[in-house]
Amino acid sequence: MSEFNRGPSRAQRPGANVGDLGGGGRPSGGGHGDASPRSAVPWYVGADFQEAPPGHRYLLYLPFWKNDWSAIKEGKQKELKKVGVIPEHASRVMGELSERQRAIGEAIGAEVIPAFSTSPFATGLGWEHPNENGFAFLHPYGLPYLAGSGVKGVLRDAARELADGPDDDRRGWTKDAVTVLFGPAPEEIQKPEDASRGALRFFDVIPEIDGTGMDVDIMNPHYSEYYQGKSTPHDAGQPLPIFFLVVPTKSKFNFVVDCPREHQLPEELRTRWRNMIRTAFEHAFDWLGFGAKTAVGYGAMRPDLKAMNERLARQQKLEEEKVREQAMHAAVAGLPEDAAWVVQKQLGKTWTNNGIFLDDVVPYLAERETLSPEGYAKFTEEMENRWPGIMANPDAVEGRRQKPKFKDRPKKLTQRLLELKPE
């Protein structure tokens, strides 16, 4: 390998010492010259990862190692708090990803259920990691997330519990409905062709974290020797605190569920699956929770009523705009361009006062050479509605002093209209 590819030698590096990493990624000295924890990365990568998102720091640049590559015993909580900080740019990406999921869901007509956490949220704790507890981060962003498969598992359990409940509390759920929407359970699959993913599709969820970053929680097992089979349980054991990352309370979650094969559903489910999935979410919020350690209170959530109302308002606005567009399309169908222009302005309520009307119509008519009979009728109708009698006599006067009844601008516009009157 050339000197260029190798990089500068250890002697050429500023501040190099025996404790620095050698080119092979192993400690080159005894390892006791620097007591601060370090990441398991080559020296040329550097040691400042403050701008990296928490997933990259936790999975790639975790500063948990001494110079002899033994793990640090003290200060893990402090280091994890540093790891959990979310830089501004990563926080912005997190919000944009969550918003994109929501926007896609609304665009394709999916069910979007906004919620917020009422207890710390954790997921992926069973993944192998030097900290003894992993965490699920979405690659390549390095941000915490809840996989769509995890959402599906919780809602399947909620639907099953509802289907097994009293008849008056099933909220439409039956065992057959659970199988159709979620697919058969593993114990129901006897041969490969029995397997099916179900009709529903569940999006990954990217939480919008409240605050500056992730929190650090602690498990404190008192009977570690008993769990390891070394002794019987007793009260004289030494607690061994285990620290792990969590998403803090009050973080926002957007759950998105859609049904791409809705047209293939049985008739009784085709119109009811949306209400049924909402009831499954309600049950999951009330009794189950999402993510890991739900049995001890983690992953508790509540629906975000404010966000739901905002979503309903957006949907209502879109529906109203759709109705207006349809009405406008029907109103202008078959009309000449000038008449259609007037109708569009009227239906769009563009001319909220006479000044705006004059500012809009005067330059439009100045560029016209002719008007269609339909267009002329629409313009004159609008003029009469605003200034009654102006088309018949724009120079009319009133009162004892015989003052002009109409001001100059509407009079000039009337004259222009009369000039463009079709023969």
The answer on 114 and 62 residing in a single domain is no
CA distance linking residue 47 with residue 203, whole number of Å:
36
Please give the pLDDT value at position 35: 61
pLDDT tens track for 217-228: 998 887 878 888
Whether 271 is in a domain gets the answer yes
User: Nearest Cα to 176, choosing from 168, 167, 185?
Assistant: 185
The answer on 291 and 160 residing in a single domain is yes
CB 281 within 8 A of CB 158: yes
Please give the pLDDT value at position 329: 93
Whether 349 is in a domain gets the answer yes
Chosen domain end from 283, 316, 349: 316
User: Nearest Cα to 417, choosing from 338, 351, 346, 356?
Assistant: 338
CB 120 within 8 A of CB 215: yes
The answer on 363 and 244 residing in a single domain is no
pLDDT tens track for 330-341: 999 999 999 999
Q: Which domain holds residue 237?
A: 88-316
The answer on 134 and 32 residing in a single domain is no
Please give the pLDDT value at position 10: 40
Chosen domain end from 78, 97, 114: 78
Please give the pLDDT value at position 84: 95
User: Nearest Cα to 348, choosing from 323, 320, 364, 328?
Assistant: 328
Please give the pLDDT value at position 30: 39
The answer on 104 and 71 residing in a single domain is no
Question: Does residue 24 have a pLDDT over 90?
Answer: no
Please give the pLDDT value at position 324: 87
Chosen domain end from 289, 316, 343: 316
Q: How many domains does the chain have?
A: 3
User: Nearest Cα to 420, choosing from 374, 376, 377, 387?
Assistant: 376
Whether 324 is in a domain gets the answer no
The answer on 219 and 309 residing in a single domain is yes
pLDDT tens track for 198-257: 999 999 999 999 888 999 999 888 787 888 888 888 877 778 888 999 999 999 999 999
CA distance linking residue 112 with residue 105, whole number of Å:
6
User: Nearest Cα to 57, choosing from 86, 22, 37, 27?
Assistant: 86
The answer on 372 and 231 residing in a single domain is no
pLDDT tens track for 268-327: 999 999 999 999 999 999 999 999 999 999 999 999 999 999 988 988 898 888 898 999
The answer on 274 and 194 residing in a single domain is yes
Q: What share of the chain is helix, strand, coil (3-state, %, to 5)?
A: 45, 10, 45
